[in-house]
Amino acid sequence: MSDQAVSALPGAEATGLVTVREMGLQGMVTLRADLSAAARAVQRVTGAAMPGVRRIEAGKGCSVAWMSPDELLILCDRAGADRMVFDLTEALTGQHHVAVNVSDARAMFALEGAPGGLRDVLSKVTPADMGALVPGEMRRTRLAQVPAAIWFEAEGAARVICFRSVARYVFDVLAMSARPGGAVDYH
Amino acid sequence: MLVLTCPYCGVAACETELAPGGEAHLKRFGPGSSDEDFEAYLFLRPNVKGVHFERWRHAMGCGKWFLAARDTATLEVFGTYRAQTSAPPPEIVAAIQAKRPDWSLT
Amino acid sequence: MSTRLPTGGRLIDRTAKIAFTFNGKRLQGHPGDTLASALLASGQTILGRSFKYHRPRGVVASGAEEPNALVNLGRGPTHEPNQRATVTELFDGLTATSQNHWPSLEWDIGEVNAALARFLPAGFYYKTFIHPRPFWKHVFEPFIRQSAGLGKAPDPKHQDPDRYEHFYAHTDVVIAGGGIAGLQAALEAGRAGATVILCEQTAHWGGRAPVDGVEIDGQPAEDWINDTVQALEGMENVHLRLRTMVAGVYDHGYVIAYERVTDHAPDPDAPRHRLWRIRAGRIIAATGALERPLSFPGNDKPRVMLASAMRDYLVNWGVSPGDRTVVVTNNDDAYRTALAIKAAGLDVPCIVDARETADGPLVQEARARGIRVLTGMGIANVKGLRGVVAVQLGRQAGEGTVVEDVVCDAVAMSGGWSPVVHLWSHCGGKLSWDAAGAFFRPDPDRPPTNQHGEGFVVCAGAADGALHASETLENASTTARKTLASIGKLAPDAAVSKATAAAEAPLAPVWIMPQGAGPKKRAKMWLDFQNDVKVSDVQLAAREGYESVEHTKRYTTLGMATDQGKLSNINGLAVLADALGEDIPRVGTTTFRPPYTPISMGAIAGEARGAIFQPLRRTPIHGWHEANGAHWEPVGHWRRPYCFPRKGESHRDAVNREITATRTSLGLLDASTLGKIVVKGPDAGRFLDMLYTNMMSTLKPGKCRYGLMCSENGFLMDDGVVARLDEDTFLCHTTTGGADRIHAHMEDWLQTEWWDWKVYTANVTEQWAQIAVVGPKARAVLDKLGADIDLSDAALPFMAWAEGRIGGIDARVFRISFSGELSFEVAVPASLGRAFWDKLLEAGAEFGATPYGTEALHVMRAEKGFIMIGDETDGTVIPQDLGLDWAISKKKDDYLGKRAQERAHMTDPARWKLVGLETLDGSVLPDGSYALAEGVNENGQGNTQGRVTSTYYSPTLGRGIAMGLVLNGPDRMGEVITFNTTKKTVKGEAPKTVQARIVSPVFYDPEGEKQNV
């Protein structure tokens, strides 16, 4: 059954100053709760410490990103997302919260290339300071005309999340920014 | 093009990442209120030249509403603070008075 | 003739040649040339015609301030008008044509305007074309349109083939200008550890210093410039950018810079322009100064140039504008031009100096070289039709009586220098008048301020009024250090290089030459070359009462268009001040507005063009729609199928077919765009009771309820079905365009008003693909797919929901209907949306499953009398207007909009109310028609008593149906009223109208039997 499931832009890839690639199906869970009260439960389920403001923490086969003072985004295996919701809901019994599977609501892209060039490509479409963004920090911002979240897995490897419906737009915008001939050599 | 620092996520956000929400600290008048109070709540804004408290949403970010104290003429920002308050907190009032000694919260 | 000299030209490579064309003529230049220098080198001195009088014009300047040499560049798709030849770098294959003339540059019929100049004074258009009124449309406007505008607009048939982009940068300091002041400031900032972006608008570092013979630390300026650039290139924290102009400074340290990436070397792969959007802590404007023309009669003729520009052409490009050049000046700096001309082996018959005495070192040197220096003199007239053949000299103090004719073929003029304070002024920095230098300089006590209330722009070097090289470096260093300290960046102490240049005696302000010139001469003194504004025009404006400099600017067009006060500003306002009998500082300046020089529209748009002009939202089933010929309708940023026309089928035929198929068997609608928001928490019910007009807290898990949402103003803003998922979780459906807006609305109230309520929301709109399975065979097709949910009416009645698996896919099924038919809205994870759609089509084939679009959806809902947000509502309609009182709880003390709906205007019985409308002849009422009433209103317009809100052809009923808001409508059932139409009126006959009967808005299945099976 699940082999019929498709991500927003299966196989989309563009190469230029950096490569832009749609990452396929990705598990995502939104959790809203009092984060300090939920820290223990979150750690038990994900293995990750409660991330600080704008941080991403790695857990057991997943990572946990701080989205707002009362919201986390848990990135996990697509097949495990429903289980993640179930486990969180269980662990947070008696605590006011909402946990929902949002895996299909979004698209995720990998951008890979030279660290400076990668920051340059992103700087063409976001007002956020890409020079100040360090691995382990997630910046929610505007990407061209839509909201997005950007972070570096490592130097030279960025991730971008946007809503599924604008996946084509975001891919086209990133591919355009990465077009050869547009090197800026700023970062 | 303003820069306002979101008090929730600490991002110094560009105006294009924010959505404006008009005057802050309005007291809601609902059923049972007089026509005058309700009209004032809905429509009457002082439109000050000078110190102003206003609502912003970090729409392209953490999604939270926050409040800003700003001079509408010089665009100086005295501070931003969380929206869960019905009046500007003392540190914001102090920050304004440090810069505008003649101003008081009336 | 202007020509290329046998030697010289520090910026050109004489070993290589570049071919280009001007007005079809094939010409040659060298790498390093600008179009202007190459044209002058080719003997082309007339480059365009002036705006109003079509006077022949040549190059005046050598940089961005050039008012005359505006040309059309490129051809076809790359055609671009009004490009300044002085900043256009020559490249192989460049194509340029001159502007604003007919039939040719040399012989222009518009030149007749010049003969009529005295009939075309300031404000001519305002004064002349007012009466008689009917003439405007048929005579004046066509005439003005024909003659207005410089350049030729690009052909709309051509799409710009180039690409453009933005670049966001964040830095401590932006330095505008790569002259010696900018380089020195960058050096200080770099050493202080600040992050720096240094922008230079030309292709070269160093600015004027090398041309002006400046020495730094005893060496030619060029050596210091090269060393400094090299040092800066070695600093990690300093970013250097040539061909990048800082165009504007905005609030909170926002800076726009315009990089011309490939204008000088076309490259199809690279972006043509890049717009830098920079956030800077501080901006150092090291933007130099601009030389002012002198206002003498005939100062606009070709080969009358700024003295500094002439020097630039000689030194930078090895081009001489003439063989015998008269230099006219009120200052010492212009003597450098005379010396440079001499050094090139050309003649300077005399230097005409308006000052009574002149004996500074430069003057002495000129005399020593045998140049005649005439003091206390001015130019009283320039002879020559399309150039200069002689100048006539007179006493500067006099009226212009000619005392001597001097044969020459060029004139170099200098009226002194004005600091370029534009960037200081863009964001509100104030200026003070420097009487000694006769210019405005930044007033350090009144800077533009940023978000912290601190001054964030400073001018350094010549831009700060430190015009002489000996002061420039010191000023730049001091200014930069002070500025850096204000953001906590301390530059280590280091010796500042010493710049030296010949000393200069003070200038004498000269605004009119000769000062006592009569009206005839004043009408030939140009202040603004581009807009053809003369001394006489400004004086006329003053006489007519234009006392404000801003008003005078608009009345006379002085300093408008691309000039923005660069050349004309100080001279113009000095003349105005004199005419008003005021001091110059009291008259003040016009406002300098960004951009400093024009920037391309492409750069402003950036990447936002073509397919990515704006985000287009696609549902998970978009690909199928596209492959199956959907005719699209934009709904917000979504693209939804309007209908699916088959070969040879009109849109209306397709819509009718889709409706009939749905009503008789099975239709499928991609409803994925509907907003879906999860609302959860112990206070969720209470919260939704405030948000919706009806009671949501009483809804039972497993059930659905239709709800209305109003703004605090009472007006209907959204509607949709709410499903209760469990005891403390609701799923709220919104309209297609409404998801983000309603989610924000919910968060607004939760975060800023009821922050102690325990409610969380989550917008899960895009998590789900939602398909409406509609029609008598809806249950059959789902059963056929195999569902582990009991879909029978008993188990899943109307307005209930359930979850399980259908066709092997996890699904939520909502038994709701927007069409009046048996209907299941099935939500599946978005990643499986397409798979589920395909399964439905396959299983539904035997029932003739028919995908339908938004128009069929609209018609079917109208047949049922269901309202549509945006059709029946327009931001002024309350639920009570629409007969939706049944959906407004009477039991609730409060909900958003309740108080507003109690206001007198909202409870007025005369509010127009929703009814159905049936034309007597069965036709479709025109969209937006008004119901006509007796009499006329206070404006003499016919009164109305209602309007059409939705109108369609109903294939089900075989006639037009409509909904509308009508005065006392629900009480007037059966009454026939008259609607206006847009049909063409036959002369002498009454306007065409159409009659319609007021009926119930529910046209189809009023008992609701179809959906309850």
A 10 A CB-CB count for C135 gives 13
- What value of ipTM does the predicted structure carry? 0.98
Cα–Cα distance measured from residue C825 to residue C774, given in angstroms and rounded to the nearest whole number? 8
Q: Which tens digit of pLDDT belongs to each residue from C307-362?
A: 999 999 999 999 999 999 999 999 999 999 999 999 999 999 999 999 999 999 99
Domain that holds residue B21: 3-99
Cα–Cα distance measured from residue C42 to residue C62, given in angstroms and rounded to the nearest whole number? 16
The answer to whether B7 contacts chain A (CB < 8 Å) is no
SS3 A135: coil
The answer to whether C890 contacts chain B (CB < 8 Å) is no
Tally of structural domains, chain B: 1
Q: Which tens digit of pLDDT belongs to each residue from A10-53?
A: 999 999 999 999 999 999 999 999 999 999 999 999 999 999 99
Cα–Cα distance measured from residue A36 to residue A39, given in angstroms and rounded to the nearest whole number? 5
Residue A121 predicted with pLDDT over 60: yes
Residue contact C449–B76, C-beta within 8 A = yes
Residue contact C835–A5, C-beta within 8 A = yes
Asked if residue C103 has a cis previous peptide bond (ω within 30° of 0), the answer is yes
SS3 C144: helix
Q: Which tens digit of pLDDT belongs to each residue from A101-113?
A: 999 999 999 999 9
Question: What tokens were used for C89?
Answer: 């770098």
Residue contact C254–B1, C-beta within 8 A = yes
Q: Which tens digit of pLDDT belongs to each residue from B29-65?
A: 999 999 999 999 999 999 999 999 999 999 999 999 9
Chains B, C: CB contacts within 8 A come to 66
Which one, of C760, B9, C170, B60, lies nearest residue A55 by Cα?
Answer: B9
Residue contact C747–B35, C-beta within 8 A = no
Cα–Cα distance measured from residue C355 to residue C577, given in angstroms and rounded to the nearest whole number? 21
Quote the DSSP letter at residue C403.
Answer: -
Spans of all domains in chain A:
11-24+105-177, 27-104
Q: Which tens digit of pLDDT belongs to each residue from C617-641?
A: 999 999 999 999 999 999 999 999 9
Residue contact B16–A68, C-beta within 8 A = no
Q: Is B13 a domain residue? A: yes
Is it true that domain A11-24+105-177 has CATH number 3.30.1360.120? yes
How much is the mean pLDDT over chain C?
A: 94
How many secondary structure helices (H) and strands (E) does chain A include? Answer: 4, 11
Report, as an integer, the average pLDDT of C126-153: 66
SS3 C857: helix
Residue contact C752–B42, C-beta within 8 A = no
Interacting residues of B8 by C-beta distance below 8 A, sequence separation 6+: A68, A69, B58, B62, B64, B66, B82
The CATH number that applies at residue B67 is: 3.30.2270.10
Report chain A residues whose CB lies below 8 A from the CB of B59: 147
Interacting residues of C934 by C-beta distance below 8 A, sequence separation 6+: C943
The alpha carbon of A93 is separated from its chain's Cα centroid by a whole number of angstroms, namely 27
A 10 A CB-CB count for C986 gives 9
Please state which CATH number belongs to domain A27-104: 3.30.70.1520
Q: Quick one: pLDDT at residue A1?
A: 44
How much is the mean pLDDT over chain A?
A: 97
Give A 87-106 residues with CB within 8 A of chain C: 96-98, 100-106
Q: Quick one: pLDDT at residue C1?
A: 72
From C450, C453, C752, residue closest to B83, measured CB to CB: C752
From C612, C682, C765, residue closest to A176, measured CB to CB: C612
Cα–Cα distance measured from residue A167 to residue A143, given in angstroms and rounded to the nearest whole number? 12
The amino acid that residue A72 corresponds to is L
Q: How long a stretch of residues is chain B?
A: 106
Instruction: Check: CB of residue C831 under 8 Å from CB of residue A3.
Output: no
Which domains does chain C possess? 1-157 (3.10.20.440), 164-290+419-500 (3.50.50.60), 293-415 (3.50.50.60), 519-582 (1.10.10.1100), 675-766 (3.30.70.1400), 907-1013 (2.40.30.110)
Cα–Cα distance measured from residue C258 to residue C251, given in angstroms and rounded to the nearest whole number? 18
Q: Is B106 a domain residue? A: no
Q: Is B104 a domain residue? A: no
**Chains touching B, CB cut-off 8 Å, 3+ pairs:** A, C
Q: Quick one: pLDDT at residue C124?
A: 64
Q: Quick one: pLDDT at residue C348?
A: 98
Instruction: Check: CB of residue C860 under 8 Å from CB of residue C658.
Output: no
Report chain B residues whose CB lies below 8 A from the CB of A68: 8-9, 62-64
Q: Quick one: pLDDT at residue C176?
A: 98
